[in-house]
Amino acid sequence: MGLRQADAVNPGRDDPAATAGRSELLAEQEYVSRVYARLDAERERAEAALREGPAAGGGSAFQARLESAVATEEAARRLAVLAGVEHGLCFGRIDHRADADGPGDTFYIGRIGLRDENREPILIDWRAAAARPFYTATPGDPGTLARRRHLHLRHREVVRLDDEVFDLEGLDESQRRGVVGEAALLAALRRGRTGRMSDVVATIQQEQDQVIRSGLHGVLVVQGGPGTGKTVAALHRAAYLLYTHRDVLERRGVLVVGPNATFLRYIDQVLPGLGETDVALATVGELYPGLKAKATDTPEVAVIKGDLRMADVVKAAVHARQRVPEGDLRIETEGLTLVVDAAKCEEIRDRARALRLPHNVQRRRFVHDMLEALAINRAEQYDRIMDEPLEEMARDGGLPDWLQELIDEAADEPLLDETDLRLAKEALWQDPAVRSALDELWPELTPEQFLTDFYADPDALAHAGAQAGIDCTPLHRPAGAPWTVSDVPLLDEAAELLGKDDSAEKARRRAAEAQRAREELYAREVIQTVDQEHSERLSASDLLSAAELAERHHDDGPPLTTAQRALADREWAYGHVIVDEAQELSEMAWRTVMRRVPTRSLTVVGDIAQTGSAAGASSWGQMLDRYVPGRWREERLMINYRTPAAIMRVAADVLKAVAPDQTPPEPVRDDGPPPTAVAMPVTELPSLVRSELALITGGDHDDIGGAYKEGRLAVITSAARHAAVLGSLPDAAAGATPDALDSPVVVLTTEEAKGLEFDSVIIVDPSGILTESPKGGQDLYVALTRATRRLTIVHDNDLPEVLSSLERP
């Protein structure tokens, strides 16, 4: 790992090393204060820009409004970035070795880059190439570094320094005396948990750095056991990619897909702390705009809904909504029976289908052709009615020559000319009987209506299932049932196949586009002007393209961020997508995700050994080869930063039993007490929870429902015991709700605990967890690896064999 614990600090007052340490601290404090002063100056400048808008100048009112929009957005964004980086702004320093040309360079590394009044860099952004040695140097391969220093800050005060000296020869005498501190990583890992993930920008490890800085293009799989920092590395990767490819990604956006809302809340502070405030976060259940599906299906139903064959099922079911009548179409209206014969109906349907457009767009052709057939039939019937008196006259004594001539002339003309036909069709479309007959045959459908109807119709389920070779009968459910997470990929599939009849919208947009093209040209000129006027600020063109600016100017109301606009648009194509806990996604969920990133620029983060969903992945190739055959690359993370070694040994026993081909990660921590197993009834949980809480929060708290800043405990239970556990801990938070993270004690199922971590974990009913799902072994492995400090297993004298190595008090 390349980390070396440095010498003990806090020696006596007269100790020369202590004196050197103090002066070193003072020197660093001076530098850090300068950096914060620059941050303050930048903030003041952004605030002033926000207050005052652009400097008054010539130009039209339109130009003034555009300038104001650019300046305001730039200032607001800059302010958000500057506010997010206050904590631990400057955390590192690297000293390059001196060489023949003179002393080596020194750089300070921070969350963002800053320059002094003379435009000289005083803080290097951690993502810049010049900062990379801070993360990659090891004692074995220090590159050109002589020393790496971690600066620990409390608010704006430098409280400790940790040094790793790679080359004592390369340091001068005063620098040698200044070697102080202990390894920063271990200090970071020992911190109490707060219910929110922190960034690790100061202590990124080499293998993680490789993941973070891997190229933008293609699919990168990050496979690693629990606690290896997959999530945290993926989030730093998002920040790195935005920094390095801002031109593409700021416009197209970056999406992070996580397993549930709690998890997203757990990670939502990491990116702002890294200076990135505009990344879209969503669960699979939120990928269909307008819906926040949280409910889950039974494993049997989830497996069916996640099966790739469901794409064919949806297609067959949409096809089944494009019907023709059993025989001829007959519609009673205006005292007539309008008729379109069966062959014509089929011809019309087939012609609409042949367009190979979405259902709702094809419907326009179907309706159009049907109305035409009906109009002609109506005209023919009227014609016959008109002809009847003439026929009678002809029978009774013949027609006068002039009338016969008129009739012969009319016979050569079509029954309806173009205008007659259009008017007739419009009139028929207003006729409720006609409209309902055509709606019945080829209805206009929203994805929600389509899927609701489909689930509620056993015949439709059986028919579409048979066509795709999968039994869909278990999907039957009444209309009005809540949407589940597994429904979302099916809604998305349906949305693709149904499409929207947006002809009216398109016409409006075409007119608007012409107007916008003119505005865009104008905006481009304004951007150039603003760039020149504020050249030392962030360039306006860095932030906004002319098209975007014109579009924003055009809209009323506050401008939306890229992330907001992307999340509201089902057809948005992201510049990069990160999928966390990706092993849980079904084949159908992958289809939904891939649709959102046509460039296939993805980071896929997960652990095949932790797959809990029966519809999830058993290998990465199973899910990815379909989209990028043989073209995805894999990085493996092997070190566990979360779980102490004693706990990890127990987890490894479980992994060996359920997935012998998987290797558990190597724990970096070897502290904390061994995990224990206690046989006791659930009713005794409160006293155990209380004593555990006292240990992780400092001993003076006894309020399970109160809020502590640090120290979190989770009770992870089988579904069978869930209600009983909750009953015995009425003050604890429950379930995967975002608020649960603020509570010191939370009760979770294994599914809900995925991706999270707690100082102390109590697992209730391990036998139940093992046996109640086909992936029970994986679920138990996940539960065992959530603890950062303490683990207790509560059982009913039925400890599974695989946990037999646990200590029993």
For ligand ATP, the binding residues (CB under 6 A) are: 185, 188-189, 197-198, 200, 203-205, 208, 224, 226-232, 607, 641-642, 755, 757, 785
User: Measured from the CB atom, is 210 or 561 closer to ligand ATP?
Assistant: 210
Report the residue count for the chain.
809
The residue ranges of DSSP E strands in 37-138, in sequence order, are: 90-96, 106-110, 114-115, 121-125
Determine contact, residues 529/67, Cβ cutoff 8 Å: yes
- Closest CB 760 distance from ligand ATP, rounded Å: 15
User: Measured from the CB atom, is 54 or 227 closer to ligand ATP?
Assistant: 227
The reply, when asked if residue 273 is annotated as ligand binding, is: no
Give the residue ranges of DSSP H helices in 398-502.
Answer: 401-411, 418-429, 432-441, 447-456, 458-468, 487-498
Terminal Cα-to-Cα distance of the chain (whole angstroms):
35
The separation between CA 727 and the C-alpha centre of its own chain, rounded to angstroms, equals 34
The reply, when asked if residue 228 is annotated as ligand binding, is: yes
| Three-state secondary-structure class, residue 770 | helix
CA max distance for the chain: 140
The reply, when asked if residue 230 is annotated as ligand binding, is: yes
d(CA 722, CA 210): 41
Determine contact, residues 745/685, Cβ cutoff 8 Å: no
- Closest CB 580 distance from ligand ATP, rounded Å: 7
- Closest CB 230 distance from ligand ATP, rounded Å: 3
The reply, when asked if residue 231 is annotated as ligand binding, is: yes
d(CA 446, CA 259): 27
In terms of DSSP bridges, do strands 666-667 and 121-125 run parallel, antiparallel, or are they unpaired?
unpaired
User: Measured from the CB atom, is 360 or 611 closer to ligand ATP?
Assistant: 611
Q: What share of the chain is helix, strand, coil (3-state, %, to 5)?
A: 50, 15, 35
User: Measured from the CB atom, is 267 or 802 closer to ligand ATP?
Assistant: 267
d(CA 313, CA 229): 39
d(CA 765, CA 733): 19
- Closest CB 234 distance from ligand ATP, rounded Å: 8
Determine contact, residues 451/495, Cβ cutoff 8 Å: no
Q: Nearest CA to 767 among 728, 725, 802, 735?
A: 802
Residue nearest to ligand ATP (CB): 229
User: Measured from the CB atom, is 728 or 778 closer to ligand ATP?
Assistant: 778
User: Measured from the CB atom, is 595 or 642 closer to ligand ATP?
Assistant: 642
Determine contact, residues 262/580, Cβ cutoff 8 Å: no
User: Measured from the CB atom, is 54 or 612 closer to ligand ATP?
Assistant: 612
Tell me the C-alpha to C-alpha distance, in Å, between residue 775 and each of 72, 415, 475, 635, 752.
52, 70, 22, 25, 15
Beta bridge partner(s), residue 107: 94
User: Measured from the CB atom, is 239 or 331 closer to ligand ATP?
Assistant: 239
Q: What is the DSSP letter of 800?
A: -
User: Measured from the CB atom, is 75 or 257 closer to ligand ATP?
Assistant: 257
**Binding site membership for ATP: which residues?**
224-231
